[in-house]
Amino acid sequence: MPSERASFAERRTRAAAKLRERDFGALLLSPGADLFYLAGYQIFASERLTCLVLDRDGTATIVCPAFEAPRAAVASPELARATWEETDDPYAMVASLVRSSGTVAVADQMWAAFVLGLQQALPRRAFAVASEITRGLRMRKDAAEVEALRLVSESADRAYARILERPFAGRTEREIGVDLAELLRSEGHEEVGFTIVASGANGASPHHDTGDRRIAEGDTVVLDFGGAMRGYRSDITRTVHVGKSGGSEEQKVHDVVRRAQDAGYAAARKGASAESVDGASRRVIDEAGYGRFFIHRTGHGIGLDGHEHPYLVRGNREILEPGMTFSIEPGIYLPGRFGVRIEDIAVIDNDGSARPLNRADHAFATVS
């Protein structure tokens, strides 16, 4: 799509300007979200070096194995390519393309082996992480990115609505996780990232490893799942109970978490700090007497990465702006008993308020 290609070129122009502003020499991006953001090239990481070299003079070249050149050409037709054969030195090739002096910024998730190889090929250069250049760009989503996040969030919402119709009691967490993965795909996800199914006391561990526990009547179950469509990621959590009614404390804790999330939404607006959203959610849980059981930050940015800037955590004074997208996900975790978390993805709209991209019902749903 020509419009999409134009936006990649425009992003590279802005990244090059940022390199000049910081007096950096070049940006070196191995496979990952920054590479996709600036070139539209999505490829798995492997031991063969693929690297976008963006010099601060604006020239961009993809260094890749020769046999992968056709694939790079389809993804990023307008970019120059430098290809290496199996016996060539790809690091020397990258170094020869870094023409400007100054610090070299490498992808935050670049493998250590590549970083060490590049440091040898570019001696006497200072190295930094690419997010110093890319985070300011990637944090503010354009309209097409917000739309992609809305579509993937709504796909996750539909998967959630459908899992409520399936039986829980008598089945294992793993079986529910397999169902969730299948539902995400059937609702349009191209990739399933994770399916956390944390039942009963397992719910007190926020990142519980979905396992063989058999779910029983009376259980509270935390469902946290997501994946990707067109590169953009979903991440939603709802907490349900199995059987006629949730226990009275379970219902009470769920109400507190809901109010904490509402307070987070109210605080999340243009001009507010990231930490103020965390503070607003945390205050509700503190005042209800559960403060020491809310054991993680309130949220994280989301886009091409499942977790990215801005992080909604105490100490982060970053100011929220239109186009920023992040989770608001307070939780209460009672060791040995149960946990409750509610998570949506929200966007700061042009009018300055936070709009949920997830629309799935927030109630403490009953499953059978």
Piece in contact with Zn ion (CB under 5 A), picked from 5-13, 46-54, 145-153, 224-232: 224-232
Q: Give the one residue of 154, 224, 275, 305 binding Zn ion; rule: CB under 5 A.
A: 224
Instruction: Tell the smallest beta-carbon distance from residue 307 to Zn ion (Å).
Output: 7
Q: Which is nearer to Zn ion, 95 or 345 (CB)?
A: 345
Angstrom distance (rounded) from CA 170 to CA 150 = 34
Written as six digits, the tokens of 362 are 């927030």
- Residue 299 CB neighbour total at 10 angstroms: 28
Instruction: Tell the smallest beta-carbon distance from residue 189 to Zn ion (Å).
Output: 14
Q: Which is nearer to Zn ion, 26 or 357 (CB)?
A: 357
Q: Which is nearer to Zn ion, 32 or 301 (CB)?
A: 301
Q: Does 179 engage in binding with Zn ion (CB under 5 A)?
A: no
To the nearest 10 degrees (0 to 180), the angle between helices 173-186 and 143-163 is: 130
Instruction: Tell the smallest beta-carbon distance from residue 261 to Zn ion (Å).
Output: 12
Instruction: Tell the smallest beta-carbon distance from residue 143 to Zn ion (Å).
Output: 23
Residues 15-44 close enough to bind Zn ion by CB under 5 A: none
Piece in contact with Zn ion (CB under 5 A), picked from 33-41, 169-177, 330-338, 342-350: 342-350
Written as six digits, the tokens of 141 are 């989503």
Instruction: Tell the smallest beta-carbon distance from residue 329 to Zn ion (Å).
Output: 5
Angstrom distance (rounded) from CA 58 to CA 133 = 14
Instruction: Tell the smallest beta-carbon distance from residue 184 to Zn ion (Å).
Output: 13
Instruction: Tell the smallest beta-carbon distance from residue 311 to Zn ion (Å).
Output: 11
184, 192 contact by CB (below 8 A): yes
Residues 45-84 close enough to bind Zn ion by CB under 5 A: none
Q: Which is nearer to Zn ion, 29 or 342 (CB)?
A: 342
Q: Which is nearer to Zn ion, 276 or 358 (CB)?
A: 358
Tell me, residue by residue from 298 to 327, as one string, x for binding to Zn ion by CB under 5 A and - for no binding.
Answer: -----------------------------x
Long-range contacts of 216-221 (CB under 8 A, 24+ apart): 216/169, 216/170, 216/242, 217/169, 217/242, 217/243, 218/242, 218/243, 218/247, 219/168, 219/169, 219/243, 219/338, 220/246, 220/247, 220/250, 220/338, 220/339, 220/340, 221/168, 221/176, 221/197, 221/367
Residues 233-292 close enough to bind Zn ion by CB under 5 A: 235, 237
Q: Which is nearer to Zn ion, 224 or 308 (CB)?
A: 224
**Under rule CB under 5 A, how many of the chain's residues touch Zn ion?**
5
Nearest to 238 by CA among 360, 126, 69: 360
Q: Would you give the DSSP letter of residue 115?
A: H
Q: Which is nearer to Zn ion, 193 or 247 (CB)?
A: 193
Nearest to 285 by CA among 257, 324, 246: 257
Q: Which is nearer to Zn ion, 11 or 189 (CB)?
A: 189
Angstrom distance (rounded) from CA 323 to CA 97 = 34
Instruction: Tell the smallest beta-carbon distance from residue 29 to Zn ion (Å).
Output: 25
222, 341 contact by CB (below 8 A): yes
Instruction: Tell the smallest beta-carbon distance from residue 218 to Zn ion (Å).
Output: 24
Piece in contact with Zn ion (CB under 5 A), picked from 101-109, 162-170, 232-240, 352-360: 232-240
The count of residues in the chain is: 368
Q: What is the DSSP string of 333-349?
A: EETTTEEEE-BEEEEE-
Q: Which is nearer to Zn ion, 220 or 327 (CB)?
A: 327
- Residue 126 CB neighbour total at 10 angstroms: 11
Cα dihedral across residues 257, 261, 262, 266: positive or negative = positive
Q: What does the binding site for Zn ion look like in residue numbers (CB under 5 A)?
A: 224, 235, 237, 327, 343
